């Protein structure tokens, strides 16, 4: 007996050693059919143990290896023993039974990793419509999408990223509709990724974006499956990972950041109105403070006389220039925003009130900033939060600072120059080598109304496409 036990014992120690005697690593000999001895190993923390037990029971009592494909089932598969792969499978949450006699391993794929139930995405609220959001689990995410596109044309491809973390990245697209060039580009860029630690979609975005240094996000981040399927249907590619609720969608155009599923859930006219309102809010959020600064420091003659008295009496006793005034207030608002995000909701509200009301009121009566500036900055802040995408929102809030500085140095001329530079940049920008400002540049008169209007569903007989997929599948 002792002689027979030796090979198992050797393997067991070797296994345990190669897993550095981790506390949750289990490896033990079990008896398999007849007198055969096998080794069972798994990570106890990531395996659904009761289900595994049931399957093993079934294997032991009902099966023999005399038939073809005897070990194949939904959860199981049999492959020749390979120690390298063994480690990888175990880390993926599989349970492995190593048959010493035949040098085979039986993989039982029943992992049980912790994940949340699907919830309404916190960053993308809608009033009506689907309230499902992606979760941190690949299978659930794909099922949320497959549930909405019941077509075999929906393709899911996988890649592993991170030399240590070994994270599953999957990209989805609709065969025949997808923008092939963009797909190739994504595959190339995914292949090029070589990092040890991969833990967020932000990292992924850095690798996939065309210009990382641009203030504008070039990939749409969303947590909403309905948004993903709408994009897939336009020939775009969605990238989801196992560890974040955010999906990346590309190629994207600037204007898709200003659309929300609410537009399509509501009525045509109201949807169009709010879409235009959001575009207007972009202009307001970027230019309003700069505009105000330019007026009070360069071009006050354009104020109507009735208003000018009010403004004059407001700013007369402010000790410093408008730009400082604006920066103080903008910084206050940014601080309040930053503070309230990190705090629990209940405290967050308190911060909002303390910051907004108390500081806002006191800062004016203390004579640090003028009433007018408070109005302008508050207005701008509200306008910048209208953008449905959190990322774009951050970009816009950042953008107004350079404009404020330009306005304080050069007045309207500065704003004009800034706007020109901004436009040149936007027109140059690409998302997966597709123009960012589409359909304005390249000009597409047929699609341009979609920026401002949400067209009725029955109307577009042609396939909606923001870029040009090869075949539009009708």
Partner 1 sequence: MLLLAGCWDERLYKDHTVVSLVGIEGTLGEMKGYFAYPEVQTGNSEVTIIESEGIETRELRLNADLKVEQTIDLSMMSTLLISEDTAKDGINKYLDVFYRDPTNSLTAFLVLVEGDVKDYMEASKSWTTEAGEYFARFIRSKEEVSVVPHRTVQTASSILFSEGIDLVLPYMVLKDEDKKRPELGGVGLFSNGKFTGRVLEPDQSKFLGLLLQERGRKIKYSALYNDQPLSFTILNVGKTRKIQSPTQVKMDYKLKIEIEEFSDTGLRDVKKISEIEDFIEEKITEEIYNVLNILQEEKCDALGLGNDFRVKKPEVFDENWHETFSNLDIQVNVKAEILKTGLIH
The binder of partner 1 chosen from 93, 352, 355, 411 (CB under 8 A): 411
Closer residue to partner 1, CB minimum distance, 335 or 421:
421
Closer residue to partner 1, CB minimum distance, 47 or 315:
315
375 binds partner 1 (CB under 8 A): no
Q: What DSSP state is assigned to residue 439?
A: T
312 binds partner 1 (CB under 8 A): yes
The binder of partner 1 chosen from 306, 342, 445, 474 (CB under 8 A): 306
295 binds partner 1 (CB under 8 A): yes
The binder of partner 1 chosen from 71, 414, 435, 439 (CB under 8 A): 414
207 binds partner 1 (CB under 8 A): no
The binder of partner 1 chosen from 18, 143, 184, 309 (CB under 8 A): 309
Closer residue to partner 1, CB minimum distance, 164 or 301:
301
Q: How far apart are CA 119 and CA 223, in angstroms?
A: 10
Nearest by Cα to 330 from 282, 392, 373, 394? 373
198 binds partner 1 (CB under 8 A): no
The binder of partner 1 chosen from 2, 68, 305, 461 (CB under 8 A): 305
Question: Rounded to the nearest 5 degrees, what angle is found at the Cα of 98, between the Cα atoms of 87 and 110?
Answer: 65
Q: Name the phi and psi angles at 317, rounded to 5.
A: -105, 20
Helix (H) or strand (E) holding 29: strand 25-31
Helix (H) or strand (E) holding 237: strand 237-241
Instruction: Find residue 157's DSSP bridge partners.
Output: 171
Number of residues that bind partner 1 (CB under 8 A): 26
Mode of pairing for the β-strands spanning 167-174 and 220-222: unpaired
- CA distances 461 to 67, 164, 272, Å, are 55, 49, 19
The binder of partner 1 chosen from 197, 417, 421, 423 (CB under 8 A): 417
- CA distances 75 to 42, 71, 402, Å, are 15, 10, 57
318 binds partner 1 (CB under 8 A): yes
Closer residue to partner 1, CB minimum distance, 101 or 321:
321
Q: How far apart are CA 351 and CA 353, in angstroms?
A: 5
403 binds partner 1 (CB under 8 A): no
2 binds partner 1 (CB under 8 A): no
| Closest CB 190 distance from partner 1, rounded Å | 43
Beta strands in 167-213 (DSSP E): 167-174
57 binds partner 1 (CB under 8 A): no
Contact 230, 149 (CB under 8 A): no
Q: How far apart are CA 226 and CA 232, in angstroms?
A: 10
408 binds partner 1 (CB under 8 A): yes
Q: How far apart are CA 406 and CA 418, in angstroms?
A: 7
Nearest by Cα to 36 from 98, 95, 90, 109? 98
- Judged by CB under 8 A, the stretch of 66-74, 206-214, 375-383, 406-414 that binds partner 1 is 406-414
Q: How far apart are CA 95 and CA 111, in angstroms?
A: 8
| Closest CB 408 distance from partner 1, rounded Å | 7
- Judged by CB under 8 A, the stretch of 145-153, 233-241, 330-338, 413-421 that binds partner 1 is 413-421
Binding to partner 1 in span 208-247, by CB under 8 A: none
Instruction: Find residue 104's DSSP bridge partners.
Output: 80, 99
| Closest CB 417 distance from partner 1, rounded Å | 6
- DSSP-based three-state secondary structure for 207: helix
| Closest CB 332 distance from partner 1, rounded Å | 22
Residue with tokens 């035949």: 102
Contact 236, 152 (CB under 8 A): no
413 binds partner 1 (CB under 8 A): yes
Binding to partner 1 in span 132-191, by CB under 8 A: none
- Binding-site string for partner 1 from residue 321 to residue 360, where x marks contact by CB under 8 A and - marks none: xx--------------------------------------
- DSSP-based three-state secondary structure for 80: strand
- Judged by CB under 8 A, the stretch of 233-241, 316-324, 335-343, 356-364 that binds partner 1 is 316-324
Q: Which chain residues interact with partner 1 by CB under 8 A? A: 295-298, 300-301, 303, 305-306, 308-309, 311-313, 315-316, 318, 321-322, 408-411, 413-414, 417
């Amino acid at each position: 007996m002792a002689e027979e036990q030796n090979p198992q014992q050797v393997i067991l120690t070797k296994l345990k050693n190669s897993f550095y005697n981790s506390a949750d690593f289990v490896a033990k000999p079990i008896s398999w059919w007849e007198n055969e001895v096998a080794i069972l190993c798994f990570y106890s923390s990531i395996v659904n143990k009761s289900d595994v037990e049931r399957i093993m029971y079934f294997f032991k009592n009902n099966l023999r290896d005399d038939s073809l494909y005897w070990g194949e089932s939904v959860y199981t598969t049999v492959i020749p023993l390979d120690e390298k792969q063994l480690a990888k499978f175990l880390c993926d949450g599989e349970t492995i039974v190593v048959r010493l006699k035949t040098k085979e391993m039986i993989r039982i794929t029943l992992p049980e990793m912790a994940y949340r139930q699907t919830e309404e995405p916190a960053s993308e609220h809608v009033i009506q419509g689907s309230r499902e959001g992606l979760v941190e689990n690949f299978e659930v995410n794909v099922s949320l999408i497959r549930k909405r596109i019941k077509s075999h044309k929906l393709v899911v491809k996988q890649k592993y990223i991170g030399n240590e973390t070994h994270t599953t990245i999957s990209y989805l697209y609709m065969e025949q509709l997808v923008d092939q060039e963009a797909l190739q580009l994504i595959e190339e860029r995914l292949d090029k990724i070589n990092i040890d630690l991969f833990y967020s979609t932000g990292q992924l975005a850095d690798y996939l974006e065309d210009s990382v240094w641009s203030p504008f996000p070039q990939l749409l981040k969303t947590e909403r499956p309905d948004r993903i399927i709408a994009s897939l249907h336009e020939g775009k590619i969605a990238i989801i990972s196992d560890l974040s609720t955010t999906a990346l969608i590309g190629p994207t155009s600037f204007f898709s950041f200003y659309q929300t599923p609410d537009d399509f859930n509501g009525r045509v006219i109201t949807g169009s109105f709010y879409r235009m309102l959001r575009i207007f809010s972009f202009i307001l959020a970027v230019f309003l403070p700069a505009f105000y600064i330019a007026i009070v420091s360069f071009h006050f003659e354009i104020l109507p006389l009735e208003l000018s008295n009010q403004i004059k009496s407001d700013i007369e006793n402010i000790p410093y220039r408008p730009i400082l005034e604006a920066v103080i207030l903008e910084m206050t608002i940014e601080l309040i925003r930053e503070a309230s995000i990190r705090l629990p909701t209940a405290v967050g509200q308190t911060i909002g009130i303390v910051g907004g009301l108390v500081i806002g009121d006191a800062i004016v009566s203390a004579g640090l900033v003028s009433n007018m500036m408070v109005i302008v900055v508050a207005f701008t802040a509200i306008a910048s939060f209208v953008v449905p995408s959190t990322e774009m929102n951050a970009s816009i809030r950042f953008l107004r600072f350079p404009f404020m500085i330009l306005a304080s140095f050069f007045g309207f001329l500065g704003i004009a120059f800034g706007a020109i530079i901004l436009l040149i940049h936007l027109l140059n920008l690409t998302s997966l080598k597709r123009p960012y400002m589409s359909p304005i540049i390249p000009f597409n008169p047929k699609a341009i109304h979609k920026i401002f209007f949400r067209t009725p569903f029955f109307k577009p007989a042609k396939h909606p496409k923001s870029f040009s997929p090869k075949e539009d599948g009708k």
